Amino acid sequence: MESRTAAIVQRSLNALFDDDSFLCDLHNGKREKAFTSLVSILSTPNHVHKSFLRIALEDGSVVRIPAYRVQHNNILGPYKGGIRFHESVNEDEVVNLSSLMTLKNALHEVPFGGGKGGVVINPRNYTAKDLHAICVKYVQYFTKVIGPNEDIPAPDVGTGEREMDWMMGEFKSIHPGRDYLGSFTGKSVENGGSLGRRTSTGKGVYFTFRYLLHDFVKEQKSWLEDRKSADAHTVLETYDQSLTLAFQGFGNVGSAAALNAYQCSHINNKIVAVSDRNVTLYQQDGLDIPALVKYTDKNNGDLPRNAEELHAAQVQAEILEREDILYLNIDALFLVALENQIHSDNMEKIKAKIVVEGANAPITNEADEYLTNAGTLIIPDILANAGGVIVSYFEWIQGKETQFFTEEEVFRRLYEKMKKTFDNVFPTFFSNAYTLRKTCYIHSVLKLSTILYRQGKLY
C-alpha cells in the first residue's frame, strides 16, 4: 500500500487501540501483537499480478502493454474493483486504489474485498478493434485469478460498459458452462448489467453531499450546535443558504453528479463551473447542465471548447483554463476526475469551503492536512464515491438470481445502503475530534479487524 493509505490505516488502528472495548478479550501483550498483525495485513496486498499483454494492432504492429490486477484483500468476500485504462497507471497506484476498495466496501458493508486493475494506455489513441483485442487479452492473461466468486472487475477511468461486455464475453468463451453474469459488473443492461449502474457513482457522490448538508444537519441541528468543530461550522453555516458548486470532471461520474445537483430541489444549488481535460466553463448565474450533458453525449465526451461550440451547445459560459476550476471562490468543489489534483503546489489556492472526493484519492496527504487545518470540510472518496460499487453488488446479485430490479428499485436500495453508512459515520464524526476521512477509516478498519478476529485469524 502506498504510504498515504497505509499511514491513515495505521492512525486508525492507533485510535482503535485506545478504545479499550476493542479486542478486549486479548491480554498479556496479545492485544499489542494483534494490532501489529492488523497493520501488516491491511497495509499489504494479497497478490500483485502483472502481465505484458501482446497485442496485434489494427495497423499491423505488435505491441506489449503493461497490465495489472491487484488483489488487496478478500476478508469480506471476493476481490472487487474496476479496471482502469490510463497512460499514468503504475503498480503503486493500482495497489493503493485496491486498498481503497477494501476500505470502501468495508465501510458500506458491501460483502466484497478490494481489488483493482489497470492497463497502461491512453484509450483515445487506439481503435475500437484494438481496444477489443486489449480487453480480450486482459481476460486471457488474468483468467486464472478472476471469476464471479473470486475477483469481479468493473469499469473505472477509461473503461465502461463496452469494455465490460467484451471482457465478460471472453470469460464466457474461456469457461463454457460456468456462471458468467457475475464475472464482471458495469455491463450494458442488454448484456446482464443493472439498470442505474451507469449513473450510480455520480448519484451517490451528490447524495452524500446532499444527505450531510440537508437531511442530516437539518434533523440534527440543535444537537450539532453543541459540537463546535471547524467542520461542523462549515456545514452549519452553509446548508440552508444558496450554494455555489463546481465540478472538476464531466465524464460518466462528474456529469451524473452535476445533473443531480442541478435537479435537486432540497438544496438551493447553483453550478457555476464544470471542467474536463480541455477547459473550465464558468457562469456566475449557473450553467445549463442538461444542455452540457446533451452536448458531451454527442461529442465524444468533450465539453464545448470555444465560442462556436458553446453556441452549438446553446450554453452561455466564460471559457477558462482547465485548472482554474480548482481555485474558484465557491462553497463546494467536487473533484470527479483523477487522483492527486490538489497537492502541495496548489493547496494554498483552494477557496472552496467543502471539497467532495468523487474520484479516488484526488487530494494528496499533505494537501489533506493543510486544507483540514484551514477549516475545509473534506468528504472522502471511500464515503462519497461508493455508489458504483454498491450498484455493482446489486448487479452481481441480479446476475446470480437472473432476476432484475427496476431502476427505481436499484436507486431505492442504493440510497438506503448509503444512508445506513451515513447514519453510522456522521454522528461519530460530529462527536469526536477526527476528520471525516479518519472517522470513515476507523469504521472500515474496525469492521475488517472484527471479522479477522472472529474468523480466528488474529490471536
Residues found near ligand GLU in the complex (CB under 6 A): 80-82, 154, 156, 185-186, 360, 385, 388-389, 392
Nearer to ligand GLU, 117 or 304 (CB): 117
CB proximity list for 85: less than 8 A, separation 6 or greater: 118, 119, 121, 122, 123, 131, 134, 156, 157, 158, 159, 163
Nearer to ligand GLU, 98 or 234 (CB): 98
Q: How far is the CB of 200 from ligand GLU (least distance, A)?
A: 9
Q: How far is the CB of 23 from ligand GLU (least distance, A)?
A: 29
Nearer to ligand GLU, 261 or 389 (CB): 389
CB-based burial, 207-232: b 16+ in 10 Å, e otherwise:
bbbbbbbebbbeeeeeebeebebebb
Q: How far is the CB of 392 from ligand GLU (least distance, A)?
A: 3
Q: How far is the CB of 113 from ligand GLU (least distance, A)?
A: 11
Q: Which residue is nearest to ligand GLU (CB)?
A: 82
Q: To which residue does cell 461550522 refer?
A: 233
Distances (CA, A) of 140 to 65, 206, 292, 391, 414: 14, 37, 39, 26, 33
Amino acid at 57: L
> Which is the catalytic residue, given 80, 104, 116, 438?
116
Q: How far is the CB of 156 from ligand GLU (least distance, A)?
A: 4
Q: How far is the CB of 386 from ligand GLU (least distance, A)?
A: 7
CB proximity list for 114: less than 8 A, separation 6 or greater: 71, 72, 73, 79, 80, 81, 98, 99, 100, 101, 102, 103, 104, 105
Task: In whole angstroms, give the CA distance from residue 251 to residue 263.
Answer: 18
Q: Which of 87, 47, 88, 53 is nearest to 67 (CA)?
A: 53
Q: How far is CA 200 from the centre of its chain?
A: 11
Nearer to ligand GLU, 23 or 168 (CB): 168
Amino acid at 366: E
Task: In whole angstroms, give the CA distance from residue 250 to residue 280.
Answer: 10
C-alpha cell at 220: 440534527
Catalytic status, residue 116:
yes
Q: Catalytic residue numbers?
A: 116
